[in-house]
Chains A and B, each alone.
Chain A
Amino acid sequence: MAKLMDYDRALELFEPVLGFEVHIELSTKTKMFSDAPNYFGGEPNTNITPVDLGLPGSLPVVNGQAVRYAISLGLALGCSIAPTSRFARKNYFYPDLAKNYQISQSDEPIAFAGSVEVELPNGRLFTVPIERAHMEEDAGKLTHVGGATGRIQGAEYSLVDYNRAGVPLVEIVTDIIYGAEADAPELAKAYVSTIRDIVVGLGISEARMERGNLRCDANISLRRRTPEGEPPAPLGTRTETKNVNSLRSVERAIRYEIQRQAAILDDGGTITQETRHWHEDTGQTSAGRPKSDADDYRYFPEPDLLPVVPSPELIEELRAALPEAPAIRRRRLKAEWNFTDLEFQDLTNSGLVNEVVETVAAGAAPAAARKWWTGEIARTANAQGVDATTLVTPLQVAQLVALVDAGTLTDRLARQVLEGVIAGEGTPQQVVDARGLAVVSDDGALIAAIDEALQSQPDVLAKIRDGKVQAAGAVIGAVMKAMKGQADAARVRELVLERATALPE
């Protein structure tokens, strides 16, 4: 295991310098350059055409919808849209790359020079500079068979599935990011989370990290701090961490690399420029392939495709259709919902803002929606190790809140109903009906239970009659127990006081 330096100590000695490459798979109907369905979950090598297989003679044709999506994304990232951009061939041999070149964009990307404002958990606002966003095609998927690790080392043979080959991608490349300092891991997470919010808001990608719809390569290097007054040290050698498939991993991987690189540098060692592979299970990175700035992909303009020349009218049309930017939206929601800074921060950190928006839209009060999502639902999700959004729908939560508001359910009963909904027993109302969980509002049944409880505890009854109303607690508890919790405690209390005087001596 690699030696790690204490995080705070690492920050004292070094300044972390970051850079991110985020790949977004666009949810178009067909692939980037062919009319094969843009769907790769099926039987291997079924969603393919001669173009996706790179068969001799086949030619690519640009997917117009993918171009529109890329322009929208570029605009949402505050980028300029190139009046003319061009595809280029990136040449390298790999069996998952059907043509042994990837059609990408090199020095003429469709979008360039933008920025994204992200909010860190501590409330700090940070502007991440965007160098470019460009279009390209995904590669096929390799499965290595016969090895212990499922990786290429030690495998007996490998299988290729070209269903993913040609899936449209936009790669968003940041400029070098300075100044994150100790917030670097949180910034990484917040940046990727913001990109996810943007693409989800645009409706251009499923953006599920665990499915690879959104992939982040995190570049990090450390720069040794110099005493004040002296010129800054040159930038350090960077590593590029891949395979970070969740927001949490992004944060952990950055923290790990800072600690790992700091330990090496402090020992007088050097950082190897390479890709690093993130291991979710061990929380470590391991060396991948060496990567140098001299990697020669022999880019040249793709002669099979014409330059992409979007009309100014199209760009303006897409600009006008952009949804609200996440930072502006956050400010608006916080004001509309009347949340405190801390409340909104908690919600943002939970990643459940959209769920609350939808729950409020379905009729719930913002406070109640927040309470359920960040409370009971988030706790359950955490315990089960799944995403909260997979457990219940915003509509179901709104229905649950409505039942509480109507007095049909107490909070305690509502938690049981939620459990039933999560277990797949149906809508909240169906769970209430099936489990018989509604609050007993029939006073007759309550009065009978209260009378019985009072008569079986004459000393308590006497105390109540003497005006010691706090003694009623014991009776209320017994009644609630008898009613199996399906009673409104406030109503029980009222009735207990009433019956205490009404009962014959």
Chain B
Amino acid sequence: MTTDLTRLTADALATKLSTGEVSSVEATQAHLDRIAAVDGSVHAFLHVASDSALAEAADIDRRRAAGEELHPLAGVPIAIKDVIVTKGMPTTSGSKILEGWVPPYDATVMTKLRAAGLVSIGKTNMDEFAMGSSTEHSAYGPTHNPWDLERIPGGSGGGSAAAVAAFEAPFALGSDTGGSIRQPAHVTGTVGLKPTYGGVSRYGAIALASSLDQIGPVSRTVLDSALLHDVIGGHDPRDSTSLTDAWPSFAEAVRNADVAGLRIGVITELQGDGFQPGVMERFREALALLEGAGAIITEVGLPSVEHAIAAYYLIMPAEASSNLAKFDSVRFGLRVNPKGGGTVEDVMSATREQGFGAEAKRRIILGTYALSAGYYDAYYGSAQKVRTLVQRDFAAAFANADVLVSPTAPTTAFKLGEKTGDPLSMYLNDIATIPANLAGIPGISVPVGLAAEDGLPVGIQFLAPAREDARLYGVAAALEALLEQKWGHTLLSQAPDLSPSEMNATDEGAV
């Protein structure tokens, strides 16, 4: 039997493609077969683009055969979070209000993926409009964590993380507004990076909160994330908030990984109380490894972080309430005509009533309230001040440390349904990831092992100053190498087998 192509990293697959050992059609078909086999139980995908993916793959194979010089990643399959607008593929952002909408244009990141010859195999599940930490707010049903199908895969990008963890795709695109790339990486044993705000174009990413959203890579290895980041990063004239900086090669940063002399600041406020013992244990172990490799571990304070969640839950819903106003049935998406007809306002109201889920409505109402005359200063205005304080805290901390570090989230994956009735406890999941979005700085989550008490994956988060994404790839790659050297294997090789026979045996039905 040949190598299972789905077990390869994107980098390894790219090598096989470029040497002609494997064709893109074979690689793509292998992943489509894997999806067909396991996605009934994982439900990472909202749309599988079998036909167009195979056609794109065949095109790459033909071009390669014709001797055309291709991008190193050409022909490698990739999964796309459904928040990203894709020409020719349905895009719903996890919401009923966009059911069946096929966008007439591509997001800038899609244009870049297509130009590099990556093969889009489908759109991944997510909390509706990226509002959530578990994918349970998806209008199309939750995604299941490949490590334990009764548990959440994180959110909002649980679909992308689960697809990668379940070997349905070598890597994927995610988006991160308050942790939606990093927290799913943490609970699925995968790697995810939120770039510096402005590092990757937001054009074509359906906005949740414009000042916080950022598209980024999701993968099984640090190198794969870096390779993908190299493709999607860079200035885009269609996004005014896109930075004009020239970026270094992130893949180079991975290959040159070295932590000797690196000052790593442990964030005082993001450990201890509320953090699961097994999470803290793996966290400290990772720090010890880094220290052993020459890193200098210090402790830094971010006093404003305790207010970050409160500020976030005013700024994010405020922007969301305005961003989601366009879903009104007039130009695209769902239209609900009230019984007996009605005015345009009646149609808009009926459409939004039926099209939005409970969490979307909750945040629209919160945000509308926060922006209202008479409340603006007390809520939105104060939240912006906290945001400034958080930014100042980071600036001070980075004066004494090259990167900061914390567990990515307080706990391992919780059970589906465990927190859906308690929004506040759900929101607290993002306590460690939200500050980076408020400050616009990059953050990465890398797996550091399994928690002793439940055997579930744990991630560590590194943060760097804005524009220093390369520094994150360096430290994450160094840690990844140290851990795999210690274990003698990758973490994901320990994930349960999701083979169909076992599925049937345990009677895990599709959701």
Residues on A lying within 8 angstroms of B by beta carbon are 50, 53-62, 89, 91, 93, 95, 98-101, 158, 160, 294, 296, 298-300, 303-306
Q: Are A101 and B240 in contact (CB under 8 A)?
A: no
Q: Are A55 and B325 in contact (CB under 8 A)?
A: no
In the assembled complex, B489 has its CB within 8 A of some CB on chain A: no
Known: A55-B104, A300-B380. A60 touches B240 (CB 8 A): yes
Contact partner of A55 among B84, B103, B211, B328, CB < 8 A? B103
Tell me the minimal C-beta distance from B230 to chain A in angstroms. 23
- Which of B52-60, B161-169, B200-208 makes up part of the contact surface? B200-208
Q: Are B328 and A57 in contact (CB under 8 A)?
A: no
Other A-B pairs beyond A101-B325, A298-B321, A303-B209, 18, CB < 8 Å: A50-B103, A50-B105, A53-B332, A54-B326, A55-B103, A56-B85, A56-B93, A56-B206, A57-B103, A57-B203, A59-B202, A59-B239, A93-B348, A100-B328, A296-B372, A298-B371, A303-B210, A306-B240
14 contacts between A and B (CB under 8 A): A50-B103, A54-B326, A56-B93, A57-B85, A57-B103, A57-B205, A61-B237, A62-B240, A100-B328, A101-B325, A303-B211, A304-B207, A304-B210, A304-B241
In the assembled complex, B331 has its CB within 8 A of some CB on chain A: yes
Chain A residues contacting B321 (CB-CB under 8 Å) are 91, 298
Known: A101-B325, A300-B318, A300-B322. A56 touches B371 (CB 8 A): no
Interface residues of B in 57-107 (CB under 8 A from A): 84-85, 91, 93, 98, 101, 103-105, 107
Q: Are B326 and A300 in contact (CB under 8 A)?
A: no
Question: Considering the chains assembled together, what is the distance between the CA atoms of A298 and B373 in angstroms?
Answer: 6
In the assembled complex, B319 has its CB within 8 A of some CB on chain A: yes
Q: Are A55 and B322 in contact (CB under 8 A)?
A: no
Contact partner of A50 among B104, B322, B373, CB < 8 A? B104
Closest B residue by C-beta to A50: B105
Chain B residues contacting A59 (CB-CB under 8 Å) are 202-203, 238-240
Contact partner of B331 among A89, A98, A101, A294, CB < 8 A? A98
Contact partner of B332 among A56, A100, A304, A306, CB < 8 A? A56
Q: Are B105 and A55 in contact (CB under 8 A)?
A: yes
Q: Are B203 and A53 in contact (CB under 8 A)?
A: no
Q: Are B331 and A91 in contact (CB under 8 A)?
A: no
Chain B 312-349: CB-based contact to A (< 8 A → 1; otherwise 0) = 00000011011001111011100000000000110010
Tell me the minimal C-beta distance from A52 to chain B in angstroms. 10
Tell me the minimal C-beta distance from A450 to chain B in angstroms. 80
Chain B residues contacting A57 (CB-CB under 8 Å) are 84-85, 91, 103, 107, 203-207
Known: A298-B371, A300-B371, A300-B380. A56 touches B240 (CB 8 A): no
Most chain B Cβ neighbours within 10 Å, of A53, A91, A95, A299? A95
Q: Are A296 and B373 in contact (CB under 8 A)?
A: yes
Tell me the minimal C-beta distance from A46 to chain B in angstroms. 14
Chain A residues contacting B103 (CB-CB under 8 Å) are 50, 55-57
Closest A residue by C-beta to B343: A152
Interface of A is mostly: loop
Residues on B lying within 8 angstroms of A by beta carbon are 84-85, 91, 93, 98, 101, 103-105, 107, 202-207, 209-211, 237-241, 318-319, 321-322, 325-328, 330-332, 344-345, 348, 368, 371-373, 376, 380
Chain B residues contacting A158 (CB-CB under 8 Å) are 344
Tell me the minimal C-beta distance from B351 to chain A in angstroms. 12
Q: Are A54 and B331 in contact (CB under 8 A)?
A: yes
Chain B residues contacting A89 (CB-CB under 8 Å) are 322
Tell me the minimal C-beta distance from B97 to chain A in angstroms. 10
Question: Considering the chains assembled together, what is the distance between the CA atoms of A487 and B214 in angstroms?
Answer: 84
Q: Are B332 and A99 in contact (CB under 8 A)?
A: no
Chain B residues contacting A98 (CB-CB under 8 Å) are 326, 331
Question: Considering the chains assembled together, what is the distance between the CA atoms of A298 and B367 in angstroms?
Answer: 10
Closest B residue by C-beta to A162: B331
Tell me the minimal C-beta distance from B302 to chain A in angstroms. 23
Contact partner of A56 among B91, B237, B318, B368, CB < 8 A? B91
Closest A residue by C-beta to B347: A95
Question: Considering the chains assembled together, what is the distance between the CA atoms of A228 and B490 in angstroms?
Answer: 92
Q: Are A95 and B344 in contact (CB under 8 A)?
A: yes
Q: Are B322 and A56 in contact (CB under 8 A)?
A: no
Chain A residues contacting B332 (CB-CB under 8 Å) are 53, 55-56
Q: Are A56 and B326 in contact (CB under 8 A)?
A: yes
Chain A residues contacting B328 (CB-CB under 8 Å) are 93, 95, 100
Closest B residue by C-beta to A34: B238
Most chain B Cβ neighbours within 10 Å, of A50, A59, A296? A59
Tell me the minimal C-beta distance from B200 to chain A in angstroms. 13
Q: Are B326 and A100 in contact (CB under 8 A)?
A: yes
Question: Considering the chains assembled together, what is the distance between the CA atoms of A299 and B380 in angstroms?
Answer: 11
Known: A59-B202, A294-B373. A93 touches B322 (CB 8 A): no
Question: Considering the chains assembled together, what is the distance between the CA atoms of A305 and B204 in angstroms?
Answer: 15
Q: Are B322 and A91 in contact (CB under 8 A)?
A: yes
Chain A residues contacting B211 (CB-CB under 8 Å) are 303
Question: Considering the chains assembled together, what is the distance between the CA atoms of A198 and B239 in angstroms?
Answer: 34
Tell me the minimal C-beta distance from A158 to chain B in angstroms. 7
Tell me the minimal C-beta distance from B401 to chain A in angstroms. 29
Chain B residues contacting A53 (CB-CB under 8 Å) are 331-332
Question: Considering the chains assembled together, what is the distance between the CA atoms of A158 and B332 in angstroms?
Answer: 16
Question: Considering the chains assembled together, what is the distance between the CA atoms of A300 and B323 in angstroms?
Answer: 12
Chain B residues contacting A300 (CB-CB under 8 Å) are 318-319, 322, 371, 376, 380
Tell me the minimal C-beta distance from B328 to chain A in angstroms. 6
Question: Considering the chains assembled together, what is the distance between the CA atoms of A89 and B240 in angstroms?
Answer: 16
Question: Considering the chains assembled together, what is the distance between the CA atoms of A55 and B209 in angstroms?
Answer: 16
Tell me the minimal C-beta distance from A136 to chain B in angstroms. 16
Chain A residues contacting B98 (CB-CB under 8 Å) are 56
Question: Considering the chains assembled together, what is the distance between the CA atoms of A99 and B210 in angstroms?
Answer: 14
Closest A residue by C-beta to B205: A57
Chain B residues contacting A299 (CB-CB under 8 Å) are 371
Chain B residues contacting A61 (CB-CB under 8 Å) are 237-240
Chain B residues contacting A62 (CB-CB under 8 Å) are 240
Closest B residue by C-beta to A45: B331
Closest B residue by C-beta to A61: B240
Question: Considering the chains assembled together, what is the distance between the CA atoms of A58 and B239 in angstroms?
Answer: 9
Q: Are B240 and A93 in contact (CB under 8 A)?
A: no
Question: When A and B form their complex, which 4 residue pairs have the shortest distance between CB atoms, in order from nearest?
Answer: A100-B325, A303-B210, A298-B371, A303-B211
Tell me the minimal C-beta distance from B22 to chain A in angstroms. 34
Most chain B Cβ neighbours within 10 Å, of A56, A58, A59? A56
